[in-house]
Structure formats: C-alpha cells, structure tokens
C-alpha cells in the first residue's frame, strides 16, 4: 500500500507520532511509523503532562461519584421518612439501619460507574485494548505461579503488620466499623464489595490510570509519593478518627504503588489488594456469626 505524503490516511494526522492500534496505556510510542501500511492516531496519554492532567480529572470524577451517588440513593428514603414520620433529626437519620444499608449497597453502582469512566479513558472510547493497556498481566521476568505466590505472601505480611499496628495503637471505631455493626445485610454487602469490586476499581484508577502518565511525566519517586497519598487521602475520610488505621492504609497504599512501579504491571498490585481485602471480608462475615452467638 502506498504510504507517501499523498496518502489520505497520513494527511489525517500529519504532525502526530504514529502508533499501532494495539499500543497500550503503558506503552511507549513505537519506532516504526505504521503497521500494515496504515497510519493511526496516537494514544492520548503519550503526552506525559497532558495525560497526567487527564488522568487526574478521571480520579476527580471517581471521587465525585463516590461522594454524590450514595446521596442520590439516600434522598428518596429520607423523603419517605419525612412524609411517613414527620421531621426527623439528622443524627437519627444517619443512624437508621435501612438508610445505612442503602448507602452500603450504593457502593456497587459507584464502582460500576467508576469502572465505566476508567474504561472509556483507557480505551479512548473503545479504540484501544483495555487489559493490555493497563498492564493487567505478570511481569515478563516473573511467571504466573511465582508472581501469584509472592503477591499473596506480601499481602499476608501486610495484614500481619496491620493487625500489629491496630492492636498496639488501638483507636476509636471508624465509620466503616459503624457501617458493619449497623446490620447483618450491610455487613455482608460491604464484605462482598471489598472483594468483588473495590480492589480492581481502585487499582484501575490509582495504580493504572493516574500512575502511568504521571510516572512518564515526573518520574517514579514523585509518582509513587503522589499516587500513594491520593489513595490514602481518600480513605482518611472513612477512618479520620483512628490514626492507627490511617497508618495501615498509608502503608498499604505505598506498598501497592511501589509494587506497580517496580514490576511495571498492575496485576501484582491487584492480587495483593485482593488478598488483603479478602482476609478482612472473611473476618467481617465471621464477625456476624460471632456477634450473633454473643447476643444469645
């Protein structure tokens, strides 16, 4: 196929670097200008600072979804309570077990919408491959078996450190503790979300979308610090009254981000996050039966 300057495909993108259609989110622009003689537009995140700014906008959108979608879910119930029972104090409303359950259930659509936003950004609306683009694979120098074992081992060590810190330091009950104790259904839904959706969605946003262009723009050290603090900072809202838990979340965040930086892939960090949350979820579910026995 003719690829000189008279080619209409080349004229469509005359001043942009060219990339193969399967170039991923974490890929560098290739040396060859075309693939099979066809010129295609470059992935938008190849321009480091522009890509980083766009990624931060995606992060900000995810925070807005996290804050406002549960409110939208809660408003109809609050209106119903007002109509059925008359004026009710904000304190009583916030302690209503059914309203708390609605807020916990809202986590699932929050994660679903966040994933769709992330998918659209990574794939450019479906133009680029998703899994390869976010690096959801094992590093080339680590086989799946070894990578899985190392990730699980690191997650177990992290959880042991978390138990040690919270046991020695103590602290008040967090908002998450209050959600767990509000009702058995809320406990089970929260445990499910902590395993089924939270690890992947959070890794996609923080160690996938935000970290990748930021590392290219500012380097590994700055990116590790920035992404880790972003992740920990969002969780501070949930654990604001317990310094020990905030310290644990910060250690977890730095470990996940360093893993992403060292391996160059997202899958190891996801497995660590999944196992860490999975242990917590098992304890949350078992806690329902222990509390039930104690109340007899």
d(CA 167, CA 88): 38
Average pLDDT, the chain: 82
Tell me: do 174 and 105 sit in the same domain.
yes
Does residue 35 contact residue 138 with C-beta atoms inside 8 Å? no
Does residue 17 contact residue 29 with C-beta atoms inside 8 Å? yes
Residue 14 lies in a domain: yes
Domains held by the chain: number: 2
Tell me: do 53 and 181 sit in the same domain.
yes
**How far, CA to CA in Å, does 123 sit from each of 23, 117, 203?**
10, 10, 16
Tell me: do 270 and 165 sit in the same domain.
yes
Q: Which two tokens stand for residue 95?
A: 């302690």
Residue 23 lies in a domain: yes
Tell me: do 95 and 238 sit in the same domain.
yes
d(CA 250, CA 245): 9
Residue 35's DSSP bridge partners are 38
pLDDT of residue 296: 43
Q: How confident is the model at residue 47 (pLDDT cuts 50, 70, 90)?
A: low
The whole-number average pLDDT for the span 113-120 is: 96
Residue 103 lies in a domain: yes
Q: Check whether 28 has a pLDDT greater than 80.
A: no
Tell me: do 2 and 80 sit in the same domain.
no
Tell me: do 179 and 198 sit in the same domain.
yes
Residue 214 lies in a domain: yes
Q: Check whether 176 has a pLDDT greater than 60.
A: yes
Tell me: do 37 and 68 sit in the same domain.
no
Residue 231 lies in a domain: yes
Tell me: do 232 and 103 sit in the same domain.
yes
Tell me: do 178 and 199 sit in the same domain.
yes
Residue 143 lies in a domain: yes
pTM: 0.81
d(CA 141, CA 150): 13
Tell me: do 11 and 80 sit in the same domain.
no
d(CA 54, CA 52): 5
The whole-number average pLDDT for the span 25-44 is: 39
> Residue 75: which domain range?
44-125+135-294
pLDDT of residue 10: 39
**Chain segment 123-174, per-residue pLDDT in tens:** 989 988 999 889 999 998 877 888 999 999 999 999 999 999 999 887 778 8
Residue 111 lies in a domain: yes
Residue 130 lies in a domain: no
- CA angle 267-268-273, nearest 5°? 95
Tell me: do 38 and 147 sit in the same domain.
no
Q: Check whether 197 has a pLDDT greater than 90.
A: yes
Tell me: do 58 and 109 sit in the same domain.
yes
Spatial CB neighbours of 249, under 8 Å, sequence gap ≥ 6: 231, 232, 235, 236, 239
């Amino acid at each position: 196929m003719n690829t000189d300057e008279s080619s209409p495909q080349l004229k469509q993108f005359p001043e942009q670097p060219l990339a193969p259609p399967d170039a991923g989110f974490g890929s560098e622009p290739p040396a060859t200008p075309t693939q099979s003689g066809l010129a295609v537009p470059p992935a938008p995140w190849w321009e480091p600072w522009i890509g980083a700014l766009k990624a931060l906008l995606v992060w900000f959108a995810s925070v807005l979804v996290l804050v406002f979608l549960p409110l939208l879910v809660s408003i109809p119930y609050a209106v119903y309570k007002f109509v059925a029972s008359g004026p009710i104090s904000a304190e009583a409303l916030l302690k209503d077990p059914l309203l708390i359950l609605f807020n916990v259930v809202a986590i699932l659509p929050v994660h679903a919408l966040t994933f769709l936003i992330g998918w659209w950004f990574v794939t450019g609306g479906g133009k680029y491959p998703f899994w390869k683009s976010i690096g959801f694979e094992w590093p080339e120098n680590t086989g799946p078996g070894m990578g899985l074992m190392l990730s699980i081992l690191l997650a177990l060590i992290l959880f042991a450190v978390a138990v040690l810190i919270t046991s020695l330091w103590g602290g008040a009950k967090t908002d998450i503790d209050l959600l767990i104790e509000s009702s058995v259904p809320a406990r089970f839904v929260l445990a499910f979300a902590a395993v089924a959706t939270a690890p992947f969605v959070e890794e996609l946003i923080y160690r996938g979308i935000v970290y990748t262009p930021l590392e290219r723009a500012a380097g590994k050290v700055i990116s590790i610090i920035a992404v880790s603090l972003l992740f920990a900072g969002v969780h501070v809202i949930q654990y604001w009254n317990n310094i020990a838990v905030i310290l644990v979340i910060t250690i977890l965040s730095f470990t996940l981000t360093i893993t992403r930086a060292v391996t160059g892939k997202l899958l190891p960090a996801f497995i660590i996050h999944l196992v860490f949350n999975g242990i917590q979820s098992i304890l949350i579910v078992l806690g329902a039966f222990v509390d039930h026995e104690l109340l007899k």
